[in-house]
A and B are shown apart, each in its own frame.
Chain A
Amino acid sequence: MALGLGCTARPGKSRENKTGSWRVFRPEFIADKCTKCRMCMIVCPEGCIGEDAEGLPVPDYDYCKGCGLCAEECPSEAIEMKKEEK
């Protein structure tokens, strides 16, 4: 993409970079244990955990780097980190 001097890219264009490929461990969300407290959505450094109509967290694995912060901070242990199988 050619840009003029001093110009920047279109906003939010980093989405083209799918950082999910970095992942070694994958967070698995256990709906039965989830209390919908939203902690995982707050702490995710990628901001890539959304929610469904019922308020349950839905991770976007295109961007999740598998850092494990959501699982570590989840107060109800509703997220388990599992080795990624490729």
Chain B
Amino acid sequence: MKGDEAACVLFDAGHRACGGCAAAMAARFILEAAGKDTIIVSSTGCMEVFSTPYPETAWNVPWIHSLFENNSAVASGIVASLKKQGRKEKVIALGGDGATFDIGILCISGAFERGHDFTYICYDNEAYMNTGIQRSGATPYDASTTTSPAGKCSYGNPRPKKDLPAILAAHGAPYVATASIAYPPDLKKKVEKAVNTPGPCYIQIHAPCCTGWGFESEKTITIGKLAIETGLWVNYEMEEGKVTRVKKVVRKPVEAYLTEQKRFRHLFKPKRNDAEIAKIQAIADRNAEKFGIDIKLKA
């Protein structure tokens, strides 16, 4: 495990992430998998803010900050320059779901269409956490955020989560995958595969946020596992646009996931909202059918 230890320090301690932060875990897993010859392009977001308060940095690899919207464009430039120089460093563009699903999608689309050899990794905590938990295109249906607050006239975010992996697969990306911090070996295997696949690859990492979702800091991995066990998050790999590998589960009802988080509290208090819970269960059922995640138990 010597190599592992050396890699550990590539994302160093002393960063200012909340206790129990999944994005901080993701950063370490990504670098453990990608190795020291990696250049990170980080868009604005939690990860950028907590890892690099001026004049400090938690990164022990070359790291550059871009704006919210243009980290794929910056990464494209770096890739082109490395190619011209004949260098072999891996380039990873790293963004939160706000930077990826909403603000940066134009530049991401451009970089994927041009076919640069880089990996885009989105740590998906399902809202703009850094600025105070505003909803994004990645916020799931009925989640309460500061810009989609649940109340008398609202059940929270009225729109389903955008299917970004499918959008990027449609660009002809050779490798697209979803992963979760709850399964580190799987996540690291996918990062390794992505950085070693020529062309633009995309990985979306489910990163539960204790501050924004409302759960205790020690439950980060428990929540990540529940998302997968209920079918509300599916871990899969797509190669050349086809789903090639899926994590199968014995599915639990979605309540198991929802009741653990304050952002869904309004569905249970003051009284249980069966109609809305059924709609969320339907989302999980559709996921299960689309990806075939159900393990059929013998009666």
Which A residues are closer than 8 A to B by beta carbons? 1, 3, 8-19, 22, 38, 42-43, 45-48, 50, 60, 62-63, 65-69, 71-73, 81
Shortest beta-carbon distance, A33 to chain B, in Å?
18
* B164 in the interface (beta carbon within 8 A): no
Write out the residue numbers on chain B whose beta carbons fall within 8 Å of the beta carbon of A50. 5
The reply to whether A16 and B54 form a contact with Cβ atoms under 8 Å apart is: no
Shortest beta-carbon distance, A56 to chain B, in Å?
14
Write out the residue numbers on chain A whose beta carbons fall within 8 Å of the beta carbon of B8. 47
Contacts A8-B52, A47-B28 given; does A13 touch B19 at CB 8 Å: no
Shortest beta-carbon distance, A38 to chain B, in Å?
8
Complex formed: what's the CA distance from A72 to B220 in Å? 10
For the residues of A in contact with B, the DSSP-based class is: loop
The reply to whether B24 and A46 form a contact with Cβ atoms under 8 Å apart is: yes
The reply to whether A18 and B14 form a contact with Cβ atoms under 8 Å apart is: yes
* B184 in the interface (beta carbon within 8 A): yes
Q: Which 8 A-B pairs give the minimum distances between C-beta atoms?
A: A68-B218, A67-B19, A14-B14, A67-B20, A65-B19, A63-B13, A72-B218, A14-B58
The reply to whether A47 and B59 form a contact with Cβ atoms under 8 Å apart is: no
The reply to whether A11 and B13 form a contact with Cβ atoms under 8 Å apart is: no
The closest CB in chain A to the CB of B24 belongs to A45
**B side interface size, CB within 8 A:** 39
The reply to whether A68 and B20 form a contact with Cβ atoms under 8 Å apart is: yes
Write out the residue numbers on chain A whose beta carbons fall within 8 Å of the beta carbon of B63. 8
For the residues of B in contact with A, the DSSP-based class is: loop
The reply to whether B217 and A69 form a contact with Cβ atoms under 8 Å apart is: yes
* B274 in the interface (beta carbon within 8 A): no
Shortest beta-carbon distance, B64 to chain A, in Å?
8
The reply to whether A1 and B221 form a contact with Cβ atoms under 8 Å apart is: no
Shortest beta-carbon distance, A15 to chain B, in Å?
5
Complex formed: what's the CA distance from A52 to B56 in Å? 29
Shortest beta-carbon distance, B247 to chain A, in Å?
18
Contacts A8-B63, A14-B12, A68-B20 given; does A1 touch B218 at CB 8 Å: no
The 8 Å CB contact of B56, one of A13, A42, A71, is A13
* B249 in the interface (beta carbon within 8 A): no
* B17 in the interface (beta carbon within 8 A): yes
The reply to whether B55 and A45 form a contact with Cβ atoms under 8 Å apart is: no
Write out the residue numbers on chain B whose beta carbons fall within 8 Å of the beta carbon of A68. 19-20, 216-218
The 8 Å CB contact of B184, one of A42, A48, A66, is A42
The reply to whether A69 and B220 form a contact with Cβ atoms under 8 Å apart is: yes
Complex formed: what's the CA distance from A9 to B22 in Å? 24
The reply to whether B12 and A1 form a contact with Cβ atoms under 8 Å apart is: no
The 8 Å CB contact of A11, one of B21, B60, B218, is B60
The reply to whether A19 and B16 form a contact with Cβ atoms under 8 Å apart is: yes
Question: In the complex, given contacts A19-B14, A67-B21, what are 17 additional A-B residue pairs having Cβ atoms less than 8 angstroms apart?
Answer: A3-B54, A8-B57, A8-B63, A9-B54, A9-B57, A11-B57, A11-B60, A14-B51, A15-B14, A17-B14, A17-B56, A42-B184, A45-B20, A47-B8, A48-B13, A68-B216, A81-B218
